[in-house]
Amino acid sequence: MSAPSIFDPPAGEPRHVLCVGAAVLDTLFRVRVLPQGQGKVLPYDMLQIAEGMASSAAYAVVRLGGKASLWGAVGRDETGDRIVRELDNAGIHVDGMLHVESARSAVSTILVDDDGERLIVPFYDPKLHHAVKKFTAADVAAFDAVLVDVRWPALAFQVLKTARAMGKPAILDGDVAPDGIIEQLAPEATHIIFSEPAAERLTGSDDVAEMARRLKRRFDHAFVCVTAGAAGSHWFNEETGKIQHCPTISIKAVDTLAAGDIFHGAFALAVAEKMVAEDAIRFSSIAAAIKCELFGGRAGAPGRADVIRRSEPLQRF
């Protein structure tokens, strides 16, 4: 039997996280070198997988032993059926998914080269997120935390607001979004995890610690963190009143696709489990780092035992 870890799940039922946002059929190609303009590139590996920001986060929650529900929209087409079926098979609760009659499901092609660089071609039908899924406060009451991405802002706004009013963690995946979306959603969030590119756009700084400092000043009602891949995360520690750096574990990155989403899912579960902030950030960093060691987008999301095992050297300091 292994020693107890600060990352062990709490007693009782697994915590239940609601994830709101993107659900896409991704086609991933591994290529030696990314293409420059026209021609033909022959990939040496390929994977089709249903994922997307909220979907991959939900999968991370499931892999880490939590319960995840996904509210997203797909078209009423073959691709939409496949997205929902795959996410269902992955253990995510999909009964809250919306099938939009007149819209096409989202699809995306991603080329990943041997240096881990990416070319992304995402297609979203604007009609997919025109309507807002109807829900009641009672629907949200069932969850221990909510996590929203920027893909379906009108629904994300209402879910954050409802969860926050109930005193539940309301987490925003603060990724690059059309102008005004982050500004609209952030006031309703209790926790905001910014990606480095989004934080850079919002602050104009090129220093991650400084980005976190400025974002905390701007959104001081919320827990604020900026993730920066291999460079680790910077977050504002309410106890010390300072920006704190959390390094991540050292890995050889094969595929960073969905790493941010795995971070968000792990973080939402950690917060739902009432892990202290420092531990939650570390837990999420390790989960996201391990994901990068495997090709296949969200498919590389680690189980809890893996995160605990890989966290041990860090815990000795």
Distance between CA atoms of residues 170 and 225, nearest Å = 14
Distance between CA atoms of residues 201 and 223, nearest Å = 19
Secondary structure class of 294 (helix, strand, coil): coil
Smallest gap from residue 117 Cβ to a copy of itself (A): 4
Smallest gap from residue 176 Cβ to a copy of itself (A): 9
Distance between CA atoms of residues 165 and 98, nearest Å = 24
Distance between CA atoms of residues 189 and 159, nearest Å = 10
- Helices (H), ranges, 144-255: 153-165, 181-185, 196-203, 208-218
Q: Which is nearer to a copy of itself, 38 or 250 (CB)?
A: 38
Secondary structure class of 42 (helix, strand, coil): coil
Q: Which is nearer to a copy of itself, 119 or 209 (CB)?
A: 119
Smallest gap from residue 284 Cβ to a copy of itself (A): 24
Smallest gap from residue 43 Cβ to a copy of itself (A): 5
The dihedral of CA 135, 137, 142, 146: what is its sign?
A: positive
Smallest gap from residue 150 Cβ to a copy of itself (A): 14
Smallest gap from residue 233 Cβ to a copy of itself (A): 23
Smallest gap from residue 91 Cβ to a copy of itself (A): 18
Distance between CA atoms of residues 289 and 256, nearest Å = 8
Smallest gap from residue 315 Cβ to a copy of itself (A): 35
Q: Which is nearer to a copy of itself, 3 or 46 (CB)?
A: 46
Q: Which is nearer to a copy of itself, 132 or 253 (CB)?
A: 253
Q: Which is nearer to a copy of itself, 118 or 310 (CB)?
A: 118
Tell me which residues touch a copy of itself (CB under 8 A).
27, 29, 31, 34-43, 46, 48, 78-79, 82, 104, 107, 109, 111, 113, 117-123
Q: Which is nearer to a copy of itself, 40 or 252 (CB)?
A: 40
- Both tokens assigned to 234: 């910077």
What is the CB neighbour count within 10 angstroms for residue 139?
Answer: 16
Q: Which is nearer to a copy of itself, 46 or 138 (CB)?
A: 46
Distance between CA atoms of residues 227 and 172, nearest Å = 13
Q: Which is nearer to a copy of itself, 5 or 27 (CB)?
A: 27
- Both tokens assigned to 4: 């107890």
Distance between CA atoms of residues 258 and 30, nearest Å = 15
Alpha-carbon dihedral 7, 8, 12, 17, rounded to 10 degrees = 40
Write the CA distances from 158 to 2, 70, 102, 129, 190, integer angstroms.
42, 15, 23, 14, 14
